[in-house]
A and B are shown apart, each in its own frame.
Chain A
Amino acid sequence: MKALMTTWLSALLLMFSTLAQANLTIEITRGSDRATPIAVVPFAADGENLPEDVAQIISDNLQRSGYFEPLDRQAMYDRPSSGDEVQFGQWRGLDVRYLVVGRVSREGDGFRIRYELMDVSGSRRMLGESVTASRNELRGGAHYISDQIFESITGIRGAFATRIAYVTARGAGDDMQFALYVADADGHNSQEVLSSREPILSPAWSPDGRKLAYVSFETERPAIYIQELATGQRVRATSFEGINGAPAWSPDGRRLAMALSKDGQPEIYIMDVASRNFERITNNNNIDTEPSWSPDGRSLLFTSDRSGGPQLYRYTVGSGETERLTFTGNYNARGRFAPDGESIFLVHRSNNGYQIARQDLGSGRLVVISESRWDESPSVAPNGTMVIFATQQGNSGVLGAVSADGRASYRLPSAQGDVREPAWSPFLN
């Protein structure tokens, strides 16, 4: 199949296969009322006992996006495995707009997946493709196919074959255990990147998806590290006195914005990754932290309490101009740009607690899109359709995700400990 499986993914799987797992599961909490009905028919398997249910993975992906409402398998009385077997009238009778059919067959040591996407109302085939995958790549193959289907129908590039980084924590006081993981966007295939008895936070993906920058207290002082995922090799980028926090890669991957308090209080700096030269871009007696680059690399969003409480500001690279962006409420922090640069996602405090909000930069209008009281750390999918964030379920920290319009949401609970600090990878293929 496409280069997808063979390059970085295989390398990652190989590197981390012996390390600890902490998979997350998925619970859909809210479906969108605008979801398009689709049927993903179980793929024919030619009598093979397959390690993965490819059609189910595709169906789950499409449902999670909030764009689709997959038909229950129980309702499918016909199960075609290729386009020419499809009787469109039957599916129209089930109010299905689109249909996915396919077949998985053994090929060498691995598998070949053939699939077709049918437009039921137009009685036509929209897409047909054949991909190969080794046994360990079947899930990746299903994510790739999900991406093709999603883009074909919505016109938006799919982000199912992406990954997430997150931090787990257990214990309290002097007895704590922290770990940094990366996993598929659906919570499967988790691999430990780092574990420590000291805090780990603020993981950030490099734009090429090969490295993570993060903050670790492993020396009992905070420091920013940059770690190559495929090799595990890492460097300590900064370990100044005071806060070394909130690393954020520039879109070209050459600079890292961060918060350093070496001069007294946290200020935003830009570090040139190759030369380790620093440029200080804020200068006052207030807190300035949580920088985030605009997609065009021309400005930085950051949190500052220069007005009294935390609010979001935008610094324009070059001119050095800074403007305040948020005015709704007295707590707005940790902003992240949508990939189109036209809106931002942030943590907003209201009478209902701390929630994820979206603010349109044109109108300045702020809309709360998450539902619980303790939501934080929003990270936007590279196609802008979903935002993953940290929330609470019972007494545990779990990850949640909500569609950018707030209509659909799901959670990724973990069997053990608190999960927090999610970071959605860029596109990886």
Chain B
Amino acid sequence: MQFKSHARSLALALSLALVAGCSSTGGTQDGSMEGTRNGAAGTGVAGSGQVSGTGVGANGDRAGQQADGRIPEVRTIYFDFDRDNIRSEFESVLVAHARYLRSNGNARVVLQGHTDERGTREYNMALGERRANSVKRFLEVQGVSPSQLEIVSYGEERPAVRGNNDDAHAQNRRVVFAY
């Protein structure tokens, strides 16, 4: 799935999360998020975008009650430059995938890590793997079995969009859920 702009993908990610009754609260808001972010109380992931075992453990049980046979539609999350932490606005996306994977024990997903094109290719391969690992740890903390998860880093080799500018870079720094 591709989006014309980073802002649009953020908005879509957020709205889907709201429909699913699961959005995040707190965290720093980005200009593109505007005022649309009113998380349902109690289901949010508290705190910053840093993945932490205790921070996300509490809402795992609740999410499990909303078992759903459909693969969540938002299958790409984005990262800041040179970072591998999960941005708070994407925690709800990960929570939805975690719920799906827990409810569908036979489902498997490849977490494809990507970077923008800056920097050397093999080093970026390692950075892409770090991002995918960051998502994997988040999902495991949410109770997903490691056997359902595989990581493949593409580094900078498969950009979502071409172009050597900030917008293209932002769209290329991503982890894709490939079911």
Check if B161 sits within 8 Å of A173, measured CB to CB.
yes
CB neighbours of A290 from chain B (8 A): 120, 122-123
Check if B123 sits within 8 Å of A287, measured CB to CB.
yes
B151 → chain A, closest Cβ, in Å? Answer: 7
Decide yes or no whether A376 CB sits under 8 A from chain B.
yes
Check if B125 sits within 8 Å of A377, measured CB to CB.
no
Check if A172 sits within 8 Å of B162, measured CB to CB.
yes
Per-residue A-contact encoding for B151-162, CB less than 8 Å = 1, 0 else: 111100111111
Check if A176 sits within 8 Å of B152, measured CB to CB.
no
CB neighbours of A202 from chain B (8 A): 121-122
Q: How far is the CA of A376 from the CA of B119 in the complex (A)?
A: 7
Check if B120 sits within 8 Å of A376, measured CB to CB.
yes
Q: How far is the CA of A222 from the CA of B129 in the complex (A)?
A: 12
Q: How far is the CA of A333 from the CA of B155 in the complex (A)?
A: 15
Check if A221 sits within 8 Å of B160, measured CB to CB.
no
Which B residue's beta carbon lies closest to that of A176?
B158
Q: How far is the CA of A392 from the CA of B168 in the complex (A)?
A: 16
CB neighbours of A395 from chain B (8 A): 162-164
Q: A265-B129, A266-B126 are in contact. Are A374 and B121 (CB under 8 A)?
A: no
Check if A201 sits within 8 Å of B120, measured CB to CB.
no
Q: How far is the CA of A216 from the CA of B126 in the complex (A)?
A: 16
Decide yes or no whether A225 CB sits under 8 A from chain B.
no
Q: A222-B152, A242-B151, A261-B129 are in contact. Are A334 and B162 (CB under 8 A)?
A: no
CB neighbours of A349 from chain B (8 A): 119
Decide yes or no whether B36 CB sits under 8 A from chain A.
no
Which B residue's beta carbon lies closest to that of A346?
B120
Check if A310 sits within 8 Å of B157, measured CB to CB.
no
Check if A217 sits within 8 Å of B157, measured CB to CB.
yes
CB neighbours of B152 from chain A (8 A): 220-222
Which A residue's beta carbon lies closest to that of B150?
A241
> Which of B117, B129, B162 interacts with A243 by CB under 8 Å?
B129
Per-residue B-contact encoding for A160-172, CB less than 8 Å = 1, 0 else: 0000000001001
CB neighbours of B119 from chain A (8 A): 310, 331, 333, 347, 349, 354, 376
Decide yes or no whether A245 CB sits under 8 A from chain B.
yes
Which A residue's beta carbon lies closest to that of B151?
A242
Q: How far is the CA of A245 from the CA of B161 in the complex (A)?
A: 24
Per-residue B-contact encoding for A285-325, CB less than 8 Å = 1, 0 else: 00101100000000000010000001000000000000000
Check if A334 sits within 8 Å of B129, measured CB to CB.
no
Decide yes or no whether A66 CB sits under 8 A from chain B.
no
Check if A199 sits within 8 Å of B157, measured CB to CB.
yes
Q: How far is the CA of A107 from the CA of B111 in the complex (A)?
A: 63
A245-260 interface (Cβ within 8 A of B): 245-246, 259
* A-B contacts at CB below 8 angstroms, number: 92
CB neighbours of B129 from chain A (8 A): 242-243, 261, 265-266
Check if B121 sits within 8 Å of A377, measured CB to CB.
yes
- Most B C-beta atoms less than 10 A away, residue of A176, A310, A354, A376: A376
> Which of A169, A245, A331 interacts with B122 by CB under 8 Å?
A245
A213-235 interface (Cβ within 8 A of B): 217, 220-222
Which A residue's beta carbon lies closest to that of B172?
A172
Q: How far is the CA of A261 from the CA of B154 in the complex (A)?
A: 13
Q: A243-B129, A243-B153, A266-B129 are in contact. Are A334 and B122 (CB under 8 A)?
A: yes
Check if B121 sits within 8 Å of A376, measured CB to CB.
yes
Which A residue's beta carbon lies closest to that of B127?
A287
Check if A289 sits within 8 Å of B160, measured CB to CB.
no
Decide yes or no whether A184 CB sits under 8 A from chain B.
no
Which B residue's beta carbon lies closest to that of A178?
B157
CB neighbours of A261 from chain B (8 A): 126, 129
> Which of A173, A303, A354, A374 interacts with B158 by CB under 8 Å?
A173
Q: A173-B2, A220-B152, A243-B153 are in contact. Are A377 and B163 (CB under 8 A)?
A: no
Decide yes or no whether A421 CB sits under 8 A from chain B.
yes
A146-177 interface (Cβ within 8 A of B): 169, 172-173, 176
CB neighbours of B158 from chain A (8 A): 172-173, 176, 199
> Which of B118, B123, B150, B154 interacts with A199 by CB under 8 Å?
B154
> Which of A217, A241, A334, A354 interacts with B118 by CB under 8 Å?
A354
Q: A217-B154, A243-B153 are in contact. Are A377 and B126 (CB under 8 A)?
A: no
Q: How far is the CA of A421 from the CA of B160 in the complex (A)?
A: 20
CB neighbours of B163 from chain A (8 A): 395
Check if B123 sits within 8 Å of A289, measured CB to CB.
yes
B103 → chain A, closest Cβ, in Å? Answer: 26
B1-19 interface (Cβ within 8 A of A): 2
Check if B157 sits within 8 Å of A201, measured CB to CB.
yes
CB neighbours of A334 from chain B (8 A): 120, 122-123
- Point out residues on B near A: beta carbons under 8 Å: 2, 117-123, 125-127, 129-130, 150-154, 157-164
21 residue pairs bridging A and B, Cβ less than 8 Å apart: A172-B160, A173-B2, A173-B158, A201-B122, A201-B157, A217-B154, A221-B152, A241-B150, A259-B125, A265-B130, A266-B129, A287-B130, A289-B125, A290-B122, A310-B119, A310-B123, A333-B120, A347-B119, A374-B117, A392-B164, A395-B163
The 6 closest A-B CB pairs, nearest first, are A199-B157, A287-B126, A334-B120, A246-B122, A333-B120, A266-B126
Given contacts A242-B153, A421-B121, 5 further A-B contacts (CB under 8 A): A172-B162, A222-B152, A265-B129, A266-B126, A303-B123
